[in-house]
Amino acid sequence: MMIEAVMSQQTSNVITVTEQNFQQVMVEESSKRLVVMDFWADWCAPCKALMPILEKLAAEYPNQLLLAKVNADEQQNIVAQFGVRSLPTVAFIQNGQPVDAFMGAEPESAIRQRLEKYLPKPWDELLQQAAEFQAAGDPGQALPLVQEAYRLSNEDTEIAFMLASVFIDLKRGNDAEAILDAMTMQQQTEPHYKELRSRLKLLAEASETPEIQELQQRLQANPDDLELAYELSVQYSQAGRSEEALETLIGVLTKDRNFRDGGARKTYLDILNGLPKGDPLAARYQRKLFTLLY
């Protein structure tokens, strides 16, 4: 109750720590979110320079961070328990234990860098949801979540691996290969890279059916045979090779927009509608069809 009373007088995640609420802050609060404990005093000029920075950061993370202010002159026992020797001192607490600390008024950029190690990333929840869809055997639902996380994280390596994995699950070998091909030499030393390359190779071997190989050879010998091209696109689609199916069909429609009495266009739209919601591949081939028709 004490902590609630103090918090009601300030913003929701900035509190004043006393001996009465100290244990609750250390144990209960630090188990739910990062506690940033700021030891300060009225006579300390660097403390007064640092506090607005900490309050600004606290306002940016209302649910993930608790700023706990300790007046060092008034709370001598807490100061002694932490072994504070100079002011300001800032300690980061998680699950009842100090995990980081600094003394002096560090610049905002340095404090942000420290916080990044302990605060959940904006894309963590997206990845958790995506992982649940993947585990349930639904990579289509996982794809837009991982793509958004990849964008928000500025193309984090681990998320890139996850995105490639989802593409492989969707039998989208070209998309997975594009991600892996763009990786640096350092990224290519990661175990995930080798594992994904192996899965990609197996996917390519599995999707090269005898029917597809035969149709490819026949179409190469007769490139203007729209029926062969249409049959190849259907085989691509059945093998999960959606991009190749769409690319082959757009070639058919470019030569005959009403091929098979509109059947080729219907197949094209069926493949588009089967792609995950928000998939850039769908948007790209929707534009191609629109440009062709209008």
Three-state SS sequence of 164-230: HHHHHHCCCHHHHHHHHHCCCCCHHHCHHHHHHHHHHHHHHHHHCCHHHHHHHHHHHHCCCCHHHHH
- Whose tokens are 């899965």? That residue is 199
- Is the pLDDT score of 5 beyond 80? no
CATH 3.40.630.40 assigned to domain 210-293? The reply is no
Mean pLDDT score of the chain, rounded to an integer? 91
For the entire predicted model, the pTM comes to 0.61
- Tokens read off for 106: 């560090």
Is there a shared CATH topology between the 2-116 domain and the 210-293 domain? no
Q: How many CB atoms lie within 10 A of CB 54?
A: 20
Domain boundaries 2-116, corresponding CATH code: 3.40.30.10
- Tokens read off for 98: 């100090």
Q: Which residues of 12-46 are buried (b: 16+ CB within 10 A; e: fewer)?
A: ebbbbbbeebbebbbeebbeebbbbbbbbeeebee
pLDDT score, position 1: 39
Q: What is the mean pLDDT of residues 37-66?
A: 94
- Tokens read off for 30: 């630090």
CATH 1.25.40.10 assigned to domain 138-206? The reply is yes
The ranges assigned to domains in the chain are: 2-116, 138-206, 210-293
- Is the pLDDT score of 232 beyond 90? yes
Closest Cα to residue 29, out of 7, 47, 9, 51?
Answer: 7
Q: Point out the residues that are catalytic.
A: 44, 47
**Distance, CA of 100 to CA of 108 (rounded, Å):** 16
pLDDT in tens, 66-86: 999 999 999 999 999 999 999
